[in-house]
Amino acid sequence: MSAAVAVCAAPASARDLQLGEILCVGGADSARAALELEPQELDCSAVRFAKRDRFVRTHADIAEGFYPTEELLYWQTDPSHFETMLVRFVYEDGTEKLFDVDPQMAARNWFVQTRFSVPVPKLSARLVGVDMVVERARTAQTFQEARLVGRQEAREEHYSKSLLYSLLCGLLLVPIIFGVLSYHWLRFRFIIWHVVMTAGALMFVVSNSGLLFRLLPDAPLGLRFQLNTISLAIATASAVLFVKELIEEGKVPRWLVRTTIGLALFMLVMKTVTVIDLESLRMISQSAFLFSMLPLSLALLALITTALLNNSRVAMYLLFAFSGMILGGIIRLLMGLGLYDPAFHIDNFLYLAMAILVLGTSAAVGDRFVVLRVERDRARVSAIKLGRLAMTDPLTGLGNRRAFESIERVERGQALLVADIDHFKAINDSKGHAVGDAVLRHMASVMRDSFETVSGATIYRLGGEEFAVLFACDDETAMCHAAERLRKAVDRDMPGDSIGLPHATVSVGGAMGRGRDLKQVFSEADQALYAAKQAGRNRSAVSGEDGPDVLANVAKA
């Protein structure tokens, strides 16, 4: 007891006394035996909270001057999870007040930061000691978080922090809604993991802050305890997969990614052990779970840092986003192992770290959206260019046969002309293929000029010396005029040696579309072309209305 008496010798704050610092601890096989332990039988050493007995007893001496006459107090602690609990208040005149606390009482009387409250009876005698007996405590926090605090101060803290945590929950909801809506349009896997990660963080805040009992007043205390760590495990594992999917390909070695994922799986296994709740592992399974997060946090930090060193755009955002959570996880682990006791409340730090995590990862997602959109736009432009190349004749720049055959039907109010350069083989044989190619290019230029003012005109080179024109046309007369105009333009604009090319003429065949299949219309136009050639070349012919076998309007300039 000497250690506890020494700590309490100095006057404590009248507003908030942290009992965890002055507790002495003992263990027993029953609640009665634990309560009957003499103060000198209790352990006041630094390792006193490592007790694994089924029933654990704590005792704290209250210094004189802490409990003013007018002050009304709450005794509070973080219940985590337990089977039964007894709280005893001892007064200077020997009076004892004993409270039997069941898990649901702890759930109903919750305060922020997962505490619950027991009102300290107000007697004329001074409060000199507080005892607690807990059956099957799951974590040492049940003892370490005990405190005496003024009721008014506790209520004010409860109101202000509940409001703060509610605002944080609202902040976490925004990226979840945005992610769900975004995934409807952008099917990227990192969006899914960002939503799951943020949902896990939201669940952690709701359970760890105690807001769960506001939403579900009858929720079992054990449910909050399990949700607290399950949500943390979900958020952490999803964060690993989110980072993996978000970081650009090739920025991180595969072995480092696999190692990080393996550590995440190990962490989930450790969490499964805490859910099973084996008696032999009751007090160490939670610490083992927290310990499993340390190498995972370091691996995640290494993964992000490696990506940053390899010039990853999003790694800068991720390093900012995860720095608080990684640091908070390390601090929480050290606290669980009894190696570090920070001056600030770790839960408040974790909530701040989660806000930074959401803001940072949302910025990373936004930046990735911009990059992916630019890449997608470039890919779309490239695809369009490649598509155009695939549909374009490289020699003349006109549509090629593939583009022509992609037309399913020739609509009413459209006509098709097929033109063939007369005696083109002779030009190739006598002048060479280079001159032949020049004739084809000039032919394409003449055809463009001829149909420049014609509505909806599209010109194709079908192969060799054969061309086709699809254009708007009301009737056969207009089609005949268009065919003759093209024939005359070629005859006039390819006059031979004046432009360094041999004189060339064309024969033209045409057919009206009438909403028919392209193959049928092309067959009629091709038959008309054949008739023009048979009539002596440098002529035009069109298919008549009575069918493809009836040809009319064979003409020569």
What secondary structure does DSSP assign to 333-395, as a single string? HHHHTTS---SS-HHHHHHHHHHHHHHHHHHHHHHHHHHHHHHHHHHHHHHHHHHHHHTB-TT
Give the whole-angstrom CA distance, residue 401 versus residue 405.
6
Give me the active site residues, please.
465
Token digits for 195?
Answer: 């939503």
Nearest alpha carbon to residue 80 among 309, 286, 301: 286
How far is the CA of 185 from the CAs of 181, 192, 244, in angstroms?
Answer: 7, 13, 21
Largest CA distance in the chain: 134
Inter-residue long-range contacts of 254-260, CB under 8 Å, 24+ positions, other chains counted: 256/299, 256/302, 256/303, 256/306, 257/303, 259/299, 260/296, 260/299, 260/300, 260/302, 260/303
Give the whole-angstrom CA distance, residue 291 versus residue 280.
18
Q: How far is CA 359 from the centre of its chain?
A: 13
Map residue 469 onto helix, strand or coil.
Answer: strand
How far is the CA of 90 from the CAs of 55, 117, 372, in angstroms?
Answer: 20, 17, 67
Contact present, 322 and 286 (Cβ < 8 Å): no
User: Please, how many CA atoms are within 13 Å of residue 276, restricted to the half-sphere of its CB?
Assistant: 13
Find the helix or strand (DSSP H, E) in which 330 lies: helix 313-336
Q: What is the DSSP-derived secondary structure letter of residue 41?
A: G
Looking at 186-253, list the stretches that DSSP marks H as alpha helix, in order from N- to C-terminal side: 189-209, 212-215, 221-246
Map residue 479 onto helix, strand or coil.
Answer: helix
Kindly give the pairing relationship between strand 540-543 and strand 506-512: parallel
Strand partners, 328: none
| Angle CA 10–15–16, to nearest 5 | 75
Strand partners, 148: 17, 75
Residue ranges with strand state E in 397-488: 409-410, 414-421, 458-463, 466-472
Give the whole-angstrom CA distance, residue 424 versus residue 533.
13
Token digits for 334?
Answer: 């050290």
Give the whole-angstrom CA distance, residue 121 versus residue 12.
19
| Angle CA 39–83–27, to nearest 5 | 25
